[in-house]
Every structure is written in structure tokens, then in C-alpha cells.
Amino acid sequence: MLSKTEAQDAVIIALDMSREEALELCDKLAGKARWVKVGMTLFYRYGPTIVDEMRERGFKVFLDLKLHDIPFQIRGAALSASLCGADILSIHALGGADMISQGREGTEEAAGMRGGNRTKLIAISVLTSMDQDALSSIGVSLPVEEEVSNLASLAVGAGADGIVCSPQEAAAMRKLLGPEAIIVTPGIRPAGADVGDQKRISTPSAAIAAGASKLVIGRPITKADDPCEAFNAIICELMGLDV
Ligand code: C5P
């Protein structure tokens, strides 16, 4: 059971939509929701402006750019993304320990320059769009679960603050990575909600009970007739209140 503040802080609303729709939605949810996720589609089109626009409305921003390049470049990318106001930034664990530790240094340098909290780095292990065959085709012969665990440990050992994983993996990842790791889970559907294209889903409260720290939730809120009501229902569920 979470307090209201904890529940509000646990929900990240995925803004998979146009800038205009995102701003309209954020105007409705401002003062209630605390976090939004800005992905590559919005960021590559609007750049840091879109992050500023969310921050002006009082939101914290998970900038889901999934960094992956040589360590030198990633240090610069993490520094730039931190300076543009990301509170959480994603990075591919597949880039290896040096790349992740340079990314971490980039976030530390940025925090030193601008003051305030350091941008948290969270790692993507194996993309959920890849199955065992897809892994084999790029020369990885380990079972997917083992590869996910290896990459998650490597990433956190190298300086990542946490990982993104499915709610089904959250309990195992919490055990593997310990209590401090940030565990972010998409694939969340409140009971009775339209499942859409998500396959391995969990309710908000079950994902938190399994060890998730933050839930990325898109369509159950963004496509609801009343997004504020849908958001509130999720907060009530996390607080253990009947809706
Ligand atoms: O609309 P929905 O709640 O399914 O949105 C979930 C968000 O999380 C989307 O932005 C989606 O791209 C992202 N995501 C996901 N599954 C993953 C990784 C990311 O659904 N494995």
C-alpha cells in the first residue's frame, strides 16, 4: 500500500502522441500526475523544448532515448540530456560497462554544472521485441532470461541506477539488484482495461507488490474518455482504496 504522494510518484505517463495532444493532456493532468515519459519520436522532432514544456507544467521527465554508442559519445549524450532537464534517462546495457560508466559520469558532470539532483540512468537489457531466435541471430546463445539477468547486473554494477523490465520480471530483478535499484515496468493494465498489444501484463498494484518502483502507463490513461479519472483510479488502487 502506498501513500498518495508515493502513488503519484510511481506512475509515469507515456506520451506516445503528438506534441499538441501531449500538451493538452499534460494541462489536464498538471498538479495531479508527476511524471511523463518522452520518447524518441517526440524528442527527435521537438528537442529539449518538449522537455522544457513538460517541466514548466510541473512534470518530472523520463527521457526514453535508449542511448547506445561509444563511451566518449555517451558521456556527452548523457551530459546533454541531463542538462536539458531529464530526471531519468534510459541507456542500452548492451553497450557494455565502459559505456554505462561514462554515461554515469556524464550525468554527474551535468549535476555539478547545473546543481540539483543527478539524472538517474536506467538500463534496457534485451528489448522485449526480441525472442530467443532474434538473440541467436545476433550471436547470443544464452537463454533470454539469463541474458537479461547478466545485462541487468552488468549495468547496475557499472553505475546505472536501475533497469526497465516487464512486471513479470520485477520480483527476480529486485532480488538480483537489491533494494536501492530503480525498477521501471511498462505493460501495466488496471483490472478490466483494454490489453491492446501488450502481452505480459500486470495490474498497477501487483507490479508494485512484485518490486517495481515506477510504472510506465500509456493508453489506459491517455486513451481514456477521462484521463484524470483513469489516473485517479490507478492512484486509488495503489493506495488500496476502493474506486
Ligand atoms: O500504452 P501502454 O501502457 O502500453 O504504453 C507503455 C509504454 O511503455 C509505451 O511507451 C511503450 O513503448 C513502452 N514499453 C513497453 N514495453 C516494453 C518497453 C517499453 O510497452 N517492453
- Tens of pLDDT, residue by residue, the chain (243 residues): 899 999 999 999 999 999 999 999 999 999 999 999 999 999 999 999 999 999 999 999 999 999 999 999 999 999 999 999 999 999 999 999 999 999 999 999 999 999 999 999 999 999 989 999 999 999 999 999 999 999 999 999 999 999 999 999 999 999 999 999 999 999 999 988 888 888 889 999 999 999 999 999 999 999 999 999 999 999 999 999 976
pLDDT score for 40: 97
Separation of CA 188 and ligand 1 centre (Å): 8
Q: What is the atom index within ligand 1 of the atom nearest the CA of 16?
A: 10
Identify which of 242, 219, 168 has the alpha carbon closest to the alpha carbon of residue 21.
219
Domain count, the chain: 1
- Three-point CA angle 141, 147, 152, nearest 5°: 160
Determine the distance separating the centroid of ligand 1 and the alpha carbon of 216, expressed in angstroms.
7
The pLDDT of residue 242 is: 72
The pairs formed by 102-105 with CB atoms below 8 angstroms and a separation of 24 or more are 102/71, 102/72, 102/74, 102/75, 102/78, 103/67, 103/71, 103/74, 103/75, 103/77, 103/78, 103/159, 103/160, 104/78, 104/158, 104/159, 104/160, 105/75, 105/78, 105/159
pLDDT at position 115: 94
Query: Quick one: which atom of ligand 1 is closest to the CA of 223?
Result: 1
Q: Which domain holds residue 121?
A: 4-239
At residue 198, the pLDDT reads 83
pLDDT score for 11 = 98
pTM comes to 0.97
Find, among 188, 196, 190, 185, the residue nearest to 229 by Cα: 190
| 164 residue type, one letter | V
Give the number of the atom of ligand 1 that is nearest the alpha carbon of residue 124: 18
Which CATH number covers residue 220? 3.20.20.70
- The reported pLDDT for the residue numbered 243 is 63
Q: CA-CA distance, 214 to 10, in Å (whole number)?
A: 4
Catalytic residue among 28, 32, 60, 66: 66
Q: Tell me whether residue 66 is one of the annotated catalytic residues.
A: yes
CB of 217 closer than 6 angstroms to any ligand 1 atom: yes
Nearest alpha carbon to residue 204 among 5, 8, 22, 26: 8
Q: Could you tell me if the CB of 122 is within 6 A of ligand 1?
A: no
| Angle (CA) 83 85 86, round 5° | 110
pLDDT at 124: 97
